[in-house]
Every structure is written in C-alpha cells, then in structure tokens.
Amino acid sequence: MPPPASDAAALPHPELVAAIPRLRRYARVLTGDASRADDLVQDALARAWEKRALWREGTDLRAWLFTIMHNVHVNQLALARREAGNVSLDAEGEFGAAWQVPVRGNQLDRVELLEVVAQMGRLPAEQREVLLLAAVEELRYEEIATVLGIPVGTVMSRLSRARDRLRRMATEPPVPLKVVK
C-alpha cells in the first residue's frame, strides 16, 4: 500500500485555550451581552497574537490577556464615542437595559444567585470590572492596577464602592430579573 498523503496543521495554543473561558466571563461582565462578549474575546485574541512579542515569559498569561482585552474594549468604546469625547468606562447604566449575563441550567432555582448577578449589572462598568477581577478572579490589587492601567489606590476605592453599592442593593426591593436560558 502506498504511504498515505500526509501533512500537518497547527493546533490551537493550549494555554490560550485554557484562558478563553475566563476571558469570555470577563468580557460578559464588561459588555453584559454574550455575543458582544465573544466578539470582544476574538478581537482580544487577535491582538494578543499581534503583540505576543511583548509578553514577558514567566508572568501570568491570564492577567496579560485581561490587560489586552480591557484595552481593546476601551478603544472600541472610544471609537464609538468619539463625538462625545468620553472614553472612560464610568458611564452608568450604559449596558443596563441589555445586561444579560446568564446563570444557567441547574442554577435557575437559585434566586439569590440571579439576584446578585442582576445587581452587579446595575453597577457602573468600571466597578463591575474591579469586582470581577478582585472578588471572582482573586487577582492581587497590584495586578488589577496593571490590567486596568490605574493606580492601586483607585482599584481599592472602586472596589470598596462597588461592594458597598451591591450590599445596599441587596436590602432594596428587587428589580425584575432578566434570565437568559
């Protein structure tokens, strides 16, 4: 039998693949929308390939990718808002109406989880972001400061405000929940 026709093609990079779920989660918390989030992750991965020479070996790839994605997002917002000249993330309620970070499957019965996610959606994006990175991803404050390009003190004060608002919301009457199946 003649030898089979054979050739090779590249695999997805395993460390990048491993980071994708966390990037998607961060992107959803940023954009509040699953398909926009995946577009953002795709753009961030493309940017990561372009900038791969700038990654320093031995540093946390996840934090580096978060940094890139944050910057891609801010740049996209800046483009969208060029007229207004407002490039910060702090506009409140920007995605409020569209906020649909899904809580899936067997969790649908856990009302308090739906509530905490819905409440998170009512925070300004800059507070959601800090809250995700500190409370969920459990990054060091210094790392968060690098990801967001802000001083550590600002990270800590934003985090404190985010938690405070979330705590106060928990005692307010609940808003209607938006569940995405």
**What residues make contact with another protein under the rule CB under 8 A?**
1, 3-18, 20-22, 24-25, 28-29, 38-39, 41-42, 45-46, 49, 52, 55, 57, 61, 101-105, 107, 110, 112-114, 116-117, 120, 131-132, 134-136, 138, 140-141, 156-157, 159-160, 163-164, 166-167
List the one residue out of 85, 87, 155 whose CA is nearest residue 127: 155
Q: How far is the CB of 85 from another protein (least distance, A)?
A: 30
Beta carbon nearer to another protein, 49 or 176? 49
Closest to another protein by CB, 78 vs 116, is: 116
Q: Nearer Cβ to another protein, position 21 or 86?
A: 21
To the nearest whole angstrom, how small is the minimum distance from the Cβ of residue 84 to another protein? 28
Number of Cβ atoms within 10 Å of the Cβ of 92: 12
Q: Are 1 and 147 in contact (CB under 8 A)?
A: no
CA 92 – CA 101 distance, rounded (Å): 17
Of all helices (H) and strands (E), which one includes residue 118? helix 111-121
- The smaller minimum CB distance to another protein, of residues 85 and 106, is found at 106
What are the residues whose beta carbons fall under 8 Å from the beta carbon of 24, sequence distance 6 or more? Answer: 37, 38, 41
Collapsing DSSP states into helix, strand and coil, what is residue 103? coil
